[in-house]
Amino acid sequence: MKVTFYKYHGTGNDFIILDDYNSAAPVLTSKQVMQLCNRHFSIGADGLMLLSKREGYDFEMKYYNSDGNQSTMCGNGGRCLVKFAYQMGMHKSSFRFYAIDGEHEAEIDIDGTISLKMQDVAKVEYHSGHAILNTGSPHFVKFASDVRDIDVVATGRDIRYSNTFAADGINVNFVETIDEDSIFVRTYERGVEDETLSCGTGVTASALLAAHNDKGFNTVEVRTKGGNLSVEFDKVDDEHFEDIWLCGPAEFVFKGEIEIG
């Protein structure tokens, strides 16, 4: 069968998008999703998404990692899907959509910035040298002074497949403080099983832990290998964060057709 697809990226975190809203998209197997995301033999992407209908919402986001399995929330993917929905005819400045972790809001600013409201965080586990929290996907966050020199794939894989996390997996973030309100983040993503150029939920998790105000409003600027993002939020205390927004660009790359066996 021949399938029309669209390619988008958010700070280098790239996605294949299928339009399941205006016409029914084909039901793909995990193997077919994995094949489409293969960078050497197909389109190539960190994940695949469907723009689908859902009663009471502008749309529903269905997300699959490049390993072919449906996954938890993807922040950069959500921002890209909002941009796609706009370019497919939903000419709105604000959106309300449904994802696997529940309801989300999003806004498109006049400069093209896509701001996505993330789920509140009500729990952070602090350990010696790292923290664990869920920002729609589970994240292991470790601050270090030499993040550019870390072997993110090898070290991240060791943590992700350790006895503690092997069953469900976890995303692993290495964070370096640049100054009072900016950080540099590199992420090993489960499901991709590699370092991605940017990870929206990972950037969010890292930014929350880098809050410069102990309470109240914070804005943290985040640099990734794929570009710059910012995270705005209210810090209630060390374990509670509310009104969290992930902000940054989302770009159309190309459109095409592919034959799927």
Catalytic residue positions? Answer: 74, 199
Pairing label, strands 251-259, 124-127: unpaired
Q: What is the CA radius of gyration of the chain?
A: 18
Mapped onto helix, strand or coil, the DSSP state of residue 224 is strand
Q: Determine how β-strand 13-20 pairs with β-strand 47-52.
A: parallel
Cβ contacts of 7 within 8 Å, gap of 6 or more: 14, 15, 16, 17, 43, 45, 252, 253, 254, 255, 256
The size of the chain, in residues, is 261
Nearest to 130 by CA among 119, 140, 120: 140
Q: Which residues contact 82 (CB under 8 A, 6 or more apart)?
A: 95, 97, 106, 108, 114, 116, 250
- Going by the DSSP 8-state scheme, the letter that residue 119 receives in this structure is P
